[in-house]
Amino acid sequence: MKTPGTIWDKLQAIDRRILYLLLLVVIITPIFLPIRLPTVTMPSTQRLYDAIESIPRGGFVMVSCTWSGGTRAENMPQTEAILRHAMQRGLRVAVFSFDVQGAQLSLQIAERVAREVGYQYGKDWVHLGFHPLPSVVMKSMVRDIPGTFDKDYQGKPTKDMPVMQGIKDIQNVDAIVEIAASGIYGDWIGLVVGANKQMKFGFCPTSVMVPETYPYLASGQIVGTMEGMRGAAEYESLIRKRGLASAGMGSISLAHLLIMALIVIGNIGYFVSRARRG
Amino acid sequence: MWEAIARFFGPKPVEVVPYYVAGAVIFSVLVIILLINLPSRARKPLIATVTFLAGLFYATEFFLPIDEATQKNMLTDYLVPARKLGSLLAGMTLTLGILSLVRVHGRNIARLRAGWYNSVALLAAMVAMVVFGLMDKYSTHEGAKRVFNVLFEGMLINMDATMFSLIAFYIVSASYRAFRIRSVEATILMTAAFLVMLGQVPVGLALTAWIPRDSMFDWMRLEVVKEWLLTVLNAAALRAIAFGLGVGGLAISLRIWLSLERGAYFEREI
């Protein structure tokens, strides 16, 4: 590789190890030296919050956690925020996952939040475990929820649990919230959402997934979203319980600023060296 | 006949479950042996028939009118058994995957091929996870539960997160090197990217937080600009892409359902 000559050439070819180190520093520093930043709630987050708020006490909410360790930084605060909100509101909650890791991780989060809120397993909430083949499960739950989720994560029958009383099919579900790192919302919209016009469908994707959800937000098929870690921070602010996402906002902000600064530096070097060459 | 089948596959008393499990295993092994030894001329029509019937079930259930009183049609009650059958098939495919993995990496180890120790690590990790995972679920041994906890939470999830977070470092390096304003299009793209990025994080939003909401300059707030870019310009393009994908998906689904699809998977002899 040709060695850069002038300072302007060097600005265009900063060693990648320096870039990695800079990123590491801007991510780690705010964790130890927290930066207090104002939170502006996006309309999509507000809509999801309002949707959960509008469900009467005792309503039935299903929370699907289709994520794994790779996206824990974003999906874990989302899961915690939505479960905390639903449990604080006194809603009946059923958690399940289409991902093996997601089943285990969501169980831990739900158990912790339930303990804090004073929710009783089987009476107020249930974990329905891991279920493979999402589209097949969705198709089946539209018509028969007790049959589709006949056992909880421990293999205990769900039909006698107070939390599942009166739940026959999708018509008895007030809201479904999918927390995912994939485009699974398409399956929900295609197979489930239209089957109960009153039901609210919320989606909590990772940040990179957000842009593709906007057409469905506009159509109302997705009632609201929690957009990655920032969305989770906004939701934490709405439920007045600052957590992991709020703590991570400093790192996320600085990382974004670093990327923009580096792009600007690279372009300054590019323009000046091009002007000098004539 | 359907009732007899439903009775046969329905819940059984605990004392007879082991016999049913043993019977199911023997039956499955026999079916697999039969399928493996079936000539490919017979296997292809068999796969095509099963694929068509499976697709036909869901398509028919979807299109058949439902009874207003019961909210069901004649096939609705079979959705749950079909889901359970699907779960069983998923379990079987997992078994096939494990068998294939053991065969490939076992051969690597037996012949001491380059990187054979990676294969040892992979198989050892897989066996450890299966053994301690089962012990965590079915045994009361505290030590085994602790080991599983270390394997799953201490290692697997963190390694998964580590691999995923590496993307951030590559994105920084790639965006720094690739984002050069060489044309009008690149300038528009970068301006839009900057606005969305700033509108995405609190530090960016703080820049325009001083502009009063509901004032005539409200549209200059970064979150409003970002929302407009994403919900108007971006969403329009995404709708077009989604529409194309939908039509394409429908065509591909029909071709797979009717076993018309040709290509790497479908033409090779299996």
- Residue B101 within any structural domain of the chain: no
- Residue B145 within any structural domain of the chain: yes
91-120 in chain A: CB under 8 A from chain B: 101, 104-105
Residue given tokens 């995405």 in the structure block = B200
The answer to whether residues B171 and B232 belong to one domain is no
Integer Cα distance of A153 and A126 in angstroms: 9
CATH no. of A43-242: 3.40.50.720
- Residue B89 within any structural domain of the chain: no
- Residue B129 within any structural domain of the chain: yes
Question: Which residue range(s) make up the domain with B169?
Answer: 114-178
Cα B36 from chain centroid? 27
Strand partners, B102: none
Integer Cα distance of B204 and A257 in angstroms: 8
- Residue B237 within any structural domain of the chain: yes
Domain end position, chosen among B178, B208, B223: B178
* Residue B128, token pair as written in the block: 């450890």
| E strand or H helix that includes residue B184 | helix B184-200
User: What's the start-to-end Cα distance of chain B, in Å?
Assistant: 35
A263–B175 C-beta distance less than 8 A: yes
Total number of domains in chain B? 2
- Residue B20 within any structural domain of the chain: no
Predicted local distance difference test score (pLDDT) of residue B265: 58
Which among A23, A37, A133 is the nearest to B87, CB-wise?
A133
Domain end position, chosen among B159, B178, B197: B178
- Residue B13 within any structural domain of the chain: no
Residues of B in contact with A69 (CB under 8 A): 156-161, 164
The answer to whether residues B167 and B129 belong to one domain is yes
Largest Cα span, chain B: 77
| Domain locations in chain A as residue ranges | 7-33+251-277, 43-242
B87–A259 C-beta distance less than 8 A: no
Q: Is A265 helix (H, G, I), strand (E, B) or coil?
A: helix
* Residue B123, token pair as written in the block: 């198989």
Integer Cα distance of A180 and A175 in angstroms: 16
- Residue B99 within any structural domain of the chain: no
User: Which residue in A has a C-alpha nearest to residue B195's C-alpha?
Assistant: A260
Residue given tokens 């920032």 in the structure block = A230
DSSP state of A168: -
Domain end position, chosen among B178, B199, B230: B178
What does the pLDDT profile of chain A (278 residues) look like in tens digits?
555 678 988 999 999 999 999 999 999 999 898 888 877 888 999 999 999 999 999 999 999 999 999 999 999 999 999 999 999 999 999 999 999 899 999 999 999 999 999 999 999 999 999 998 899 899 899 989 999 999 999 989 999 999 999 999 999 999 999 999 988 999 999 999 999 999 999 999 999 899 899 999 999 999 999 999 999 999 999 999 988 899 999 999 999 999 999 999 999 999 999 888 87
Alpha helix locations (H) across chain B? 2-9, 17-37, 40-63, 79-110, 116-138, 142-149, 157-178, 184-200, 202-207, 222-228, 235-257, 264-267
CB A68 within 8 A of CB A99: yes
Residues of A in contact with B210 (CB under 8 A): none
Strand partners, A130: A97
